[in-house]
Structure 1
Amino acid sequence: MTEINILIPVVAAFLSASLTLMAGFGLATILTPVFLIFYDVKIAILIVAVVHLANNLLKLSLFRSYVSLDILKRFGALTLIGAFIGAFLQGKMDSSLVKILLGASLIFLGLKEISGFGEKLRLPKKIDVIGGFFSGLLGGFVGNQGAIRSAYLLNYNIPK
Structure 2
Amino acid sequence: MFKNLNILFLILALLAEVIGTIGGFGSSVFFVPIANFYFDFQSVLGLTALFHVSSNLSKIALFKKGLDKKLLLYIGLPAVLFVIFGGWISKFFTTYLLEVALGLFLIALSALFLIKKDLIIKPNKREAIIGGTLSGFIAGFLGTGGAIRGLTMAAFNLEKSAFIATSAFIDFFVDISRTVVYFFNGYIHNHDLIYVPFLFIIGFIGTYFGKQILSYISQANFKKISLILILLIGIITLLNSLFKI
- Structure label with greater radius of gyration: 2
State yes or no: 1:37 paired with 2:34: no
SS in 2 for 1:91: coil
TM-score (norm 2): 0.55
State yes or no: 1:105 paired with 2:93: no
Ranges in structure 1 where 5+ consecutive residues have no aligned partner: none
CA RMSD after TM alignment? 2.8
Q: Following TM superposition, by how much is the alpha carbon of 1:5 offset from its aligned partner in structure 2, in angstroms?
A: 5.5
Q: How does 1:8-157 map to 2 (within 5 A)?
A: 8-25=8-25, 27-93=27-93, 97-114=94-111, 116=114, 120=119, 122=121, 125-127=124-126, 128-157=128-157
Give the stretch that moved more between structures: 8-17 or 110-119: 110-119
The amino acid of 1:42's aligned partner reads Q
The amino acid of 1:73's aligned partner reads L
Instruction: Tell me if the contact between 1:78 and 1:133 (Cα under 8 Å) persists in the aligned partners.
Output: yes
**Greater relative contact order: 1 or 2 (C-alpha under 8 angstroms, separation 6 or more)?**
2
Deviations 1:31-57 (A, max 9, x none): 122111111122213322222222111
TM-score (norm 1): 0.79
Deviations 1:84-143 (A, max 9, x none): 1111111222xxx21342243124323433453686473762312233122101111112
CA distance, structure 1, for counterparts of residue 115 and residue 134 of structure 2: 19
Same amino acid, percent of matched pairs? 24
Closer, same or farther: CA 112–13 of 1 in aligned 2, 3 Å: same
CA distance, structure 1, for counterparts of residue 8 and residue 20 of structure 2: 18
Give the paired residue count.
157
Ranges in structure 2 where 5+ consecutive residues have no aligned partner: 161-245
Closer, same or farther: CA 26–59 of 1 in aligned 2, 3 Å: closer
Greater fraction of residues in helix: 1
